[in-house]
């Protein structure tokens, strides 16, 4: 069975995934289709194990992780390859050794690189100098793998993306950026409800609005949670203080309190709305137990789909 049946899928071979903006609509459709084929075993487990036989994935971590590490390490194993974990003390990326030197060294030894970093420039630097595909496993600017898993989860539960409304409630962070860009590309209306001063990056918002002109999606930045959630098909939230912002936790808790996703807020969404969270969740802060454990929640479907979506990305970029 051919792994790449469309021109869009073929065009991904050897590429890096640093931002959702790197992928065209047909290429995104190819990622979602490959995700389905791997998850549903259209490509059998034995055939999957042959895809990366004898190949290696380097996994660079500046930030701790549960889902990113386990999903990538399990994913490369299921594809027949081997993952090498490189933690902060192994590399000290850009400090003990320059990003370019690390990239050139790894590029001569491994077949693909995943990096979970602070500064986005580090993943772009790795891609510039490594000569092998680089996957952004999270940077301060974007979290494309998370967004792909999130949107695939919506497809599974709603059967489509065009014309739906996704409301993101909370900080205009890296996850919000990737979701906004992906919504714009897929024709999904996007509204973020956030406190003043915590809006998404203005350049990312402008980019998303430009992309949305091609698909008819609307992009709204609001400072009102209820207005953002009104009529939403999907309600999404994330922690109020991301890694590296721990010193702001107490301050943010007060500012973001009106933006908690609770039963009262969910009642402003559609009756059959989904609730998504990229995890880890701070229960009682950005979300209440009755929401994340309730009828709306697909948070753990998302967590599982990190595995399948990232396998699809590795297959399409690196096989």
- DSSP lists the bridge partners of residue 244 as none
Amino acid 3: pLDDT: 63
In a domain, 288, yes or no: yes
3-state secondary structure of 230: coil
What pLDDT digit, counting tens, does each position of 173-205 carry? 999 999 999 999 999 999 999 999 999 999 999
Quote the DSSP letter at residue 248: G
Is 146 a known active-site residue?
Answer: yes
**Count of domains forming the chain:** 2
| Measured CA angle at 145 (ends 139, 149), to 5 deg | 145
What pLDDT digit, counting tens, does each position of 85-101 carry? 999 888 878 788 899 99
Same domain, 150 and 67: no
Confidence bin at 172 (pLDDT 50/70/90)? very high
In a domain, 118, yes or no: yes
Same domain, 239 and 271: yes
Handedness of CA 152, 157, 162, 168 (dihedral sign): negative
Distances (CA, A) of 127 to 17, 90, 107, 306: 9, 20, 10, 22
CB count, 10 Å around CB of 205? 22
CA distance 149 to 160: 14
What pLDDT digit, counting tens, does each position of 27-64 carry? 999 999 999 999 999 999 999 999 999 999 999 999 98
CB count, 10 Å around CB of 284? 10
Q: Which of 150, 306, 308, 310 is catalytic?
A: 306
Same domain, 132 and 152: no
Same domain, 138 and 158: no
Q: Which of 116, 177, 189, 277 is catalytic?
A: 116
Same domain, 23 and 126: yes
Range of the domain at 127: 7-142+306-318
Same domain, 153 and 72: no
Q: Which of 37, 67, 140, 146 is catalytic?
A: 146
- Lookup result for tokens 């259209």: 42
- Do the beta carbons of residue 151 and residue 182 sit within 8 Å? yes
CATH of the domain at 190: 3.40.50.1370
Predicted TM-score of the model (pTM): 0.96
In a domain, 1, yes or no: no
- Tokens representing 27 are 């290429």
Is 306 a known active-site residue?
Answer: yes
Q: Which of 171, 260, 278, 308 is catalytic?
A: 278
- Do the beta carbons of residue 150 and residue 179 sit within 8 Å? yes
Confidence bin at 74 (pLDDT 50/70/90)? very high
CA distance 172 to 140: 11
- DSSP lists the bridge partners of residue 192 as 168, 221
Amino acid 245: pLDDT: 76
In a domain, 238, yes or no: yes
Quote the DSSP letter at residue 200: P
Q: Mean pLDDT in the chain?
A: 96
Amino acid 4: pLDDT: 57
Same domain, 197 and 133: no
In a domain, 2, yes or no: no
In a domain, 51, yes or no: yes
3-state secondary structure of 46: helix
CA distance 256 to 253: 5
Same domain, 207 and 265: yes
- 76 closest CA partner among 52, 103, 95, 100: 52
Amino acid 211: pLDDT: 98
Is 224 a known active-site residue?
Answer: no
Is 238 a known active-site residue?
Answer: yes
Same domain, 220 and 133: no
Is 293 a known active-site residue?
Answer: no
* Order of all β-strands in the sheet with 82-86: 82-86, 56-61, 112-116, 134-138
Q: Which of 140, 150, 171, 238 is catalytic?
A: 238
Helix (H) or strand (E) holding 64: none
In a domain, 242, yes or no: yes
Same domain, 60 and 112: yes
CA distance 229 to 112: 39
- Lookup result for tokens 């709204």: 220
Same domain, 158 and 277: yes
Amino acid 249: pLDDT: 85
Same domain, 241 and 121: no
In a domain, 47, yes or no: yes
What pLDDT digit, counting tens, does each position of 120-153 carry? 999 999 999 999 999 999 999 999 999 999 999 9
Confidence bin at 77 (pLDDT 50/70/90)? very high
What pLDDT digit, counting tens, does each position of 252-289 carry? 999 999 999 999 999 999 999 999 999 999 999 999 99
Inform me whether the pLDDT recorded for 1 exceeds 60: no
């Amino acid at each position: 069975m051919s792994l790449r049946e469309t021109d869009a899928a073929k065009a991904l071979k050897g590429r890096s995934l640093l931002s959702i903006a790197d992928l065209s609509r047909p290429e995104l459709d190819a990622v979602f289709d490959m995700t389905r084929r791997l998850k549903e075993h259209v490509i059998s487990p034995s055939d999957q194990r042959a895809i990366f036989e004898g190949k290696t994935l380097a996994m660079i971590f500046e930030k701790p992780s549960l889902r990113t590490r386990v999903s990538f390490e399990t994913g490369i194993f299921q594809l027949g390859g081997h993952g090498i974990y490189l933690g902060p003390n192994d590399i000290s990326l850009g400090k003990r050794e320059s990003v370019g030197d690390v990239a050139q060294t790894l590029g001569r030894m491994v077949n693909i690189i995943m990096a979970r970093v602070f500064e986005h420039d580090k993943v772009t630097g790795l891609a510039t100098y490594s000569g092998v595909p680089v996957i952004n496993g999270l940077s301060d600017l974007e979290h494309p793998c998370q967004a792909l898993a999130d949107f695939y989860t919506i497809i599974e539960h709603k059967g489509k993306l065009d014309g739906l409304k996704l409301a993101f409630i909370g900080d205009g962070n890296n996850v919000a950026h990737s979701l906004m860009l992906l919504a714009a590309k897929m024709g999904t209306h996007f509204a973020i409800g956030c406190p003043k001063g915590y809006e998404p990056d203005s350049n990312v918002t402008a980019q998303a609005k430009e992309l949305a002109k091609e698909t008819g999606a609307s992009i709204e930045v609001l400072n009102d949670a209820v207005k953002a959630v009104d009529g939403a098909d999907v309600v999404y939230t994330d922690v109020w203080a991301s890694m590296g912002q721990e010193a702001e936790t107490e301050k943010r808790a007060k500012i973001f309190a009106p933006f908690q996703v609770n039963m009262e807020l969910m009642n402003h969404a559609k009756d059959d709305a989904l609730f998504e969270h990229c995890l880890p969740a701070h229960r009682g802060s950005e979300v209440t137990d009755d929401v994340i454990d309730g009828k709306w929640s697909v948070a753990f479907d998302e967590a599982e789909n990190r595995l399948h979506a990232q396998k699809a990305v590795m297959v399409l970029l690196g096989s």
